[in-house]
Chains A and B, each alone.
With several copies, the nearest count.
Chain A
Amino acid sequence: MAIDPSINESQELPLIFELSSPGNCAVSLPDSDVPETDRASCVPSDLLSGGGNNQLPEVGELDVVRHYTRLAHRVFSIDEHIYPLGSCTMKYNPRINERAAAMPGFMNVHPHQNIADVQGILELMYRTQRMLAEISGLADVTLQPAAGAHGEMTGLMMINAYHRDRGCKREVVLAPDSAHGTNPASCTICSMKSTKIRSRADGRVDLDDLRSKVDENTAALMITNPNTCGVFDDQIADIADIIHAAGALLYYDGANMNATMGIIRPGDVGVDVMHFNTHKTFSTPHGGGGPGAGPVGVCDKLRPYLPRPHVVRNDAGDFDLNYNIPKSIGKVRSFYGQVGIIVRAYAYLRALGRDGLRRASEQAVLNANYIAAKIKEHYPLPIPGPYAHEFITVPDFERMGITERDFAKRLIDHGIHPPTMSWPIMHCLMVEPTETESLRALDRFCQVMIKMTDEAQSNPDLLRNAPHNTVVGRLDDVAANRKPNVRWMANSPA
């Protein structure tokens, strides 16, 4: 039913700037209780002349509430939708974690407070370091990195420092062709050259190719295991041997840790350094794109290079920030790590504990294999199972007369966030249901997937023109990229 969009705000929301009336303010601030300091006498005039030039919108309190409430109603979220996003592990974000992070004793603590006044936070950080070390089978963990990619960078910097310390300059980082884009990008930040290793048809590393490329210029191999095809590479120990024999180090991208918690520990099979993604494996929220956290675990060899400061427990049993790490790569950020996120990860680790982590991984694996089994008659599975926590299907979109984009947008109509698309294989879907979905949700996902093959056959336009149930229709991103409008300007309509 056509509604005149000009009067129906549920269609096109005004921008916050379009709600502005000069003089409005959603916050009432107190009047000053101190004498005013004469500005002109103490601040150079060129700094004052533009004072108040900032053009922030001026909106009343109710309108601010309405604006952000309406925006909140226009976004998919785990709280409403299933996100079978391979390699992203979009599991449930427990509300108790949010409550924890909001406790004043965690939320309102200043990073320069006296060490004796932050013992609880340091203890929590220390415990988290130790728990992650145990889960990874590595010697120590730094909580500084802000996300997975930042963890990669931190890890590579430590690898660089390690080699430098041994007097050699190794510049090449090997990584399977299925590696996540951050792996090579992190190499670039560290001025390292990333070289691709071939994967075999089943997604496992081609050892011959690996052997042929490893040499004295190899700094490290970066591996994701289970890999991004959802296959556990059982050659991991061999790979470690090959790498170590060449004097290089083995970096483990922990993005897929959700498949193996309590089952296998990277450190036990030769991994030297790895990052965790708390916002994948340990249930901290994605927040529409962060903040996450990317703690990095290291073997003993790399301990001397950990970023500083490092949270330690001293002999008296007190917790402290240790700045005295002579070979440290230095700081990779302000302060000490994404504490607010670490609190959430800690809460998750404590809730699940010894047995729960393994149970979670097992359920994640079961769920992925269940979906694969239910849709396999309709969706080709190029790699045979059993799978880890995710799997890949490569539907014949071309034969279906649609693109994977059409497919994705149509899934949105059904209230399902599309799986990861076209990575690591062109035109593939990478499906990772996670362990927190109900059987009902898994079944519904399968049902929709199967139904969509019918839709593609009987009414491909339904897919080609999708989405239909969203607040905007399919957006023309080609045009959007042609002359990008990345900020609103008064008098030039967005």
Chain B
Amino acid sequence: MDYTQITGEQQQSMLKTIGVKSVEELLAPIPDKQRLKDKLNLPVGCSEMELLADLESLAAKNCHVGKRVCFLGCGAYDHFIPTLVDHLAMRGEFLTAYTPYQAEASQGTLQAFYEFQTMICQITGMDIANASLYDGATAVAEAVLMAGTCSKNHRVLVSQACNPDTLETLKTYAKEQSLEIDTVPLADGQTDCDALKAAVDNQTLAVVVQFPNFFGILEQLQQIVDTAHNAGAQVIVSYDPVAAGMFTRPGEFGADIVVGEGQPLGIPLQYGAPFLGFMAAKESYLRKIPGRLVGVAKDKDDSRGFCLVLQTREQHIKRERATSNVCTNQGLMAMRAAVYMASMGRSGLAKVAELCFDKSHYAAAEIAKLEGFSVRFKQPFFKEFVVQTNRNIPDLLACCREEGIDAGVPMHRWFTDMEDCFAIAVTEKRTKQEIDALVTVLRKS
């Protein structure tokens, strides 16, 4: 199989048109001694049926959330994905379209991305948003780089309750940019606002917090924003978009840049990617924002259309002076998120958020009743919380898996002082029955 559709006979007539005897002649510019002498050491190709069998056997070696009840979170969530999302966003036309540089041939994707940008503004409470970035972690890094273009400062304060993957990614980027990354300590699982006040100074470029934070806890956004702004620092919030169903949005608290992982908006888990980075910001960032931006344009009859705007920010025009190197980003994931948000709408997202809230609180309350288990932090949380236990966590989780439950994510990989803790995420998909089953297994463990 090679997905070509030119027959041997046709090849011959093409060669004749070109005026050569063989394809080999066309390859002449590649010097013989540089060539690969043998065939590639790869398996031979195969038919569709054989390929399916191979893929199915690999797929069968993975457990998936349909087989085992998923209470895992920490950056990826088993939210419900309405059937519409797959059906509409994965259509062949969207799937196989190119980047919409040729506007008139791309109105469908352009309009969808314009609507996506608007919906991201609507759920973050911000003025503008781009058409996507790689993922939540790189979006934070890009946000810091963007903040950097508005300030001479080099110091970035990051809440210790940011997702450690995000922090590590940020550090990877920051190292090349000689940015100084300092962390802000926590008080009972929440960014310590006093510590922040002490740490922030006029050398501070930006303060980065996550909402809800890595432990599921709702941060005191107003205090954080005020503290940062008082010192002249920009505020970057890494945001779970589902929270917009229930809580005041970061923009309403005055955040400067809101980024986040859009996976909860109808994107399957896919073992961690492709997910969706999004970035929203105040109007003033319009010419500094990385990635693509779609804007309204008119044709000569004044009909409404859409095209990419401010391309002069981008690498293919500005090259080394571009606002970012991002080229291909996550278009189709933005499409999925757009279909998801359009399908859920204001009231649907509210219901999702409320179900997450009530179910996670029910789970926390029930688990807290168990001997040897407690909820680690007392601060308000949304859909995820940390459990502390006197049991051996690897054994405990293995025992839950045997009962058909992926009970949570151990914290010790990232936090050595949390050897006895694991995080439980409860989405709207989890039923009372499933939560009760979890509680029962934990009790027995």
Contact = CB atoms under 8 A, between A and B. Distances in A.
Interface string A244-280: 0000000000000000111111001100000001010
A47 B83 CA distance: 31
A16 B21 CA distance: 32
Interface string A6-49: 00000111011100111111111111111111010011101111
A181 B319 contact: yes
A485 to B, nearest CB: 4
A148 B63 contact: no
A418 B97 CA distance: 13
A23 B7 contact: yes
Interface stretch (B109-117, B153-161, B192-200, B201-209): B109-117
A354 B45 CA distance: 6
Given A26-B82, A54-B349, A408 B102 contact: yes
B296 interface: yes
A28 B47 contact: yes
Contact of B109 (A71, A103, A184, A350): A71
Interface string B310-329: 10001111111110111111
B393 interface: no
Nearest to B247: A47
Contacts of B348: 25-27, 29
Interface string B40-74: 11111111111110111111111111101010111
A59 B345 contact: yes
A301 B56 CA distance: 37
B134 to A, nearest CB: 4
A3 interface: no
B305 interface: yes
A117 interface: yes
A100 B40 contact: no
B26 A262 contact: no
B25 interface: yes
Contact of A338 (B17, B62, B86, B273): B273
B147 interface: no
A150 B169 CA distance: 12
Given A46-B222, A105-B58, A473-B303, 5 more contacts: A51-B245, A119-B61, A287-B94, A288-B100, A350-B46
Contacts of A51: 245-248, 350
Given A32-B358, A100-B55, A366-B23, A486 B30 contact: no
B443 interface: no
Contact residue range for chain A?
35 or more
B58 A123 contact: yes
Contact of A50 (B28, B119, B248): B248
Contact of A134 (B42, B62, B63, B222): B42
Contact of B26 (A137, A335, A338, A369): A369
B3 A487 contact: no
A487 to B, nearest CB: 4
Which residue, A74, A131, A232, A290, has most C-beta atoms of chain B within 10 A?
Answer: A290
Interface residues of B, number: 217
Contact of B47 (A29, A131, A341, A488): A29
Given A29-B47, A351-B46, A16 B325 contact: no
Contacts of B30: 232, 234, 260, 263-264
Contacts of A47: 218, 221, 247-248, 380
Count chain B CB atoms within 10 A of each CB in A67, A106, A108, A231 and give the residue with the most. A108
A69 B88 contact: yes
B374 interface: no
Contact of B271 (A23, A110, A188, A260): A110
B39 A120 contact: no
Contacts of B94: 72, 75, 77, 287-288
A475 B308 CA distance: 11
Interface string A459-494: 000000001001111111101110011111000001
A24 B6 CA distance: 7
A23 B347 contact: yes
B18 to A, nearest CB: 4
Contact of A147 (B7, B80, B327): B327
Interface centre among B109, B163, B274 (most CB of A within 10 A): B274
A359 interface: yes
A100 B95 CA distance: 15
Residue among A16, A152, A187, A263 with most chain B CB within 10 A:
A16
A190 B176 contact: yes
Interface in B68-93: 68, 70, 72-76, 78, 80, 82-84, 86-93
A327 interface: no
B310 A370 contact: no
Contacts of A21: 5, 7, 10
B36 A263 contact: yes
B29 to A, nearest CB: 4
Interface stretch (A207-215, A395-403, A434-442): A434-442
Contacts of A341: 273-274
Interface in B115-174: 115, 117-119, 121-123, 125, 127-129, 131-132, 134-138, 145, 163, 165-166, 168-169, 171-173
B98 A88 contact: yes
B216 interface: no
A352 interface: yes
B353 to A, nearest CB: 8
Interface in B7-41: 7-11, 14-15, 17-20, 23, 25-31, 34-36, 39-41
A175 to B, nearest CB: 10
A36 to B, nearest CB: 5
Contact of B307 (A61, A181, A268, A480): A480
Nearest to A349: B42
24 contacts: A23-B9, A26-B342, A29-B47, A47-B248, A51-B350, A56-B344, A60-B4, A64-B343, A75-B97, A80-B93, A94-B3, A95-B83, A137-B36, A264-B30, A286-B96, A288-B112, A289-B109, A331-B168, A354-B42, A355-B39, A386-B20, A435-B2, A475-B104, A487-B121
